[in-house]
Amino acid sequence: MRYAAPPLGDLRWRAPVEPKRTDTVEKANQFGPICLRAGAGAPFPGQDEDCLYVNVWAPANATEKSKLPVWVFIGGGGYNALTNANWNGSEVVEKSRHNIVMLDFNYRVGMWGFLASQKVKNDGDLNVGLLDQRMLLTWVKKHISAFGGDPDHVVIHGASAGAGSVAMHLLAYGGRNDNLFVGAMSESLFFPAQPYVNELEYQFDRLTQQVGCLSVEPEEQLACLRNQDVISLQAANHAQHFPGHEGPLLPIFYWTPCVDGDFLQDLPYRLMRRGQFLNVPILFGTNTDEGSVFAHNSLTPSDFTNFFTTNYPRLTRSDVASIISLYPQLPPLPNRNPWYPTTSLAYGEATFICPSNNFLDAFVSSSFSSFNLSNQGKAKSKKAFAYRFNVHDHALQTAGLGVPHLFDAAAIFGPDNISGFGAGEESSYKTYNKPVVSMFMAYWISFVRTLDPNMFSEKGSPQWEGWDSHVHGDDDKSRKRLLVELGNTRMGKVGDGESDRCRFWEALGDRLEQLGRGS
């Protein structure tokens, strides 16, 4: 179903608007196309610029009076692609005993969702991919009761860039509560560079040059882009070096959200430090080897540092030296170069694991901040739950990938309902890892229903304790998370080494999120 009008022509790089009303019956029995991705050239089959569709899975007997909890899933893809906006939510609805409504949807990505320039801000909108998501949440508030859902009990959930989006909605408008959701779940929180608008003018200039719009008057360049055909624009929708960088490596994520001064009012780490985000119950977690599918197969320490400065160009020479000191060479892996394991660990922690840990720390502390005292009433710490997913798949272990990014997704939705690691007929979740699925899925369903993963957990599952129920600050002993392992799931504490490294990345947070050149 459409949740917004087709973002075509003059609606390119503008906030989404409501679709036109119709008095005819619209067919909604097939998935809509997926939004255009970066790096694909011409649109792939099944992709289209007209892509703002939502899928709803609801119990067949649900009515407007059912008031069922609502699970809204935001897909990932590094803000440059949508891995798949059409995952199947029917199994989680069934396993909830028909006690939830499930949604997933498309939002604009790559150049279409995150082109940034003062010119765009003057005659359009920035971060329209995030504004698409906000529009979807508004659509849910308005319409979900027709499917049996409770518009006042919506829980958002994102994976990778979708998890980063969850964080953005918690930080949105400086932590303003628009009453769009009551809880938030994050798989592998993704924090790439998310810079200021003036640091991204080069992307607009490159795009106008590549599609022949540079020769028109500056105030007409955006209109020129809006008049270009999809094929021409898609040809320019790909990664390029950040300014001042060259060499064989390109940044993994070229298009990203930016600080627009409105939806995202400052660098995310700065907002986190000030406690400027919504105080609702959260469930955040990561996989053990988050960096393994992204890391460069580094041969030398120089390869390792080049990979980091390619993706985080604001890092200084001193920063790089500190990173090398903090991440010494690890034991080798089969069929990999000597510095690959270290590159994988460092990138995984910098970009996924530590943003999640640091957000959890900031979240707990924010309940006691002056901001939340003044903006959200009497201080009351909302529950924060954390997990580390450490379920081993034999084929992934042999490939040297460990427990990779989003390997937990198939355990949440079921291996037949998603794409990616752990999915499909040969999935280990259908054989030796099968017990993990029912246990882990039940925790997530329980959180959606009650904002507590324990209320409807599988019988015999361990009690999932909060990240930090009593103490806030720098007490490492309070950082507790559910360690998910086959046959041995239990509560555990974050190790001192990981805590120290996450403090290091938090201190570097501002430079990681900017693109200005270091020294």
pLDDT single digits (tens) 358-408: 999 999 887 544 444 445 444 455 799 999 999 999 999 999 999 999 999
pLDDT average, residue stretch 66-72:
99
The full length of the chain comes to: 519
Cα gap 142→18, rounded to integer Å? 12
pLDDT at residue 477, as a whole number: 52
- Exposed, middle or buried, 43 (CB in 10 Å: 0-12/13-18/19+)? middle
How does pLDDT run across 311-344, given as a tens digit for each residue? 999 999 999 999 999 999 999 998 899 999 999 9
Looking at residue 352, the DSSP 8-state letter turns out to be: I
pLDDT average, residue stretch 200-208:
97
Q: Are 351 and 191 in contact (CB under 8 A)?
A: yes
pLDDT at residue 475, as a whole number: 53
Map tokens 């020129």 to a residue: 224
Kindly state the percentage of the chain with pLDDT values over 90.
85
Encode 26-47 in three state secondary structure.
CCCCCCCCEECCCCCCCCCCCE
Q: Are 409 and 89 in contact (CB under 8 A)?
A: no
- Give the pair of three-digit tokens for residue 138: 């508004």
Mean pLDDT of the chain: 93
Cα gap 188→186, rounded to integer Å? 6
pLDDT bracket for residue 513 (50, 70, 90): confident
CA dihedral 87, 91, 96, 101 (to 10 degrees): 40
- Phi/psi of residue 198, nearest 5 degrees: -65, -15
pLDDT at residue 74, as a whole number: 98
How does pLDDT run across 472-511, given as a tens digit for each residue? 445 545 799 999 999 999 999 999 999 999 999 999 988 8
The separation between the first and the last C-alpha atoms of the chain, rounded to the nearest angstrom, is: 50
Pairing type for strands 54-57 and 384-389 reads: unpaired
Q: What is the CA radius of gyration of the chain?
A: 22
How does pLDDT run across 238-269, given as a tens digit for each residue? 999 999 888 899 999 999 999 999 999 999 99
Q: Residue 105: beta bridge partners?
A: 54
pLDDT at residue 377, as a whole number: 45
Q: Are 440 and 484 in contact (CB under 8 A)?
A: yes
Q: What secondary structure does DSSP assign to 178-236, as a single string?
A: -SS-SEEEEES-------BGGGSHHHHHHHHHHTT-TTS-GGGHHHHHHTS-HHHHHHT
Judge whether residue 172 has pLDDT over 90: yes
Strand order in the sheet with 384-389: 54-57, 101-105, 68-74, 149-159, 183-187, 282-287, 384-389, 480-484, 490-493
Using DSSP, state whether 259 is helix, strand or coil: strand
Pairing type for strands 183-187 and 384-389 reads: unpaired
- Exposed, middle or buried, 183 (CB in 10 Å: 0-12/13-18/19+)? buried
How does pLDDT run across 3-13, given as a tens digit for each residue? 999 999 999 99
CATH number, span 9-289+342-513: 3.40.50.1820
pLDDT average, residue stretch 410-436:
95
pLDDT average, residue stretch 38-55:
90
Catalytic residue annotation: 160
- Give the pair of three-digit tokens for residue 488: 């041995």
Q: Residue 54: beta bridge partners?
A: 105
Map tokens 């903090």 to a residue: 326
Cα gap 365→384, rounded to integer Å? 11
pLDDT at residue 144, as a whole number: 99
Q: Are 509 and 319 in contact (CB under 8 A)?
A: no
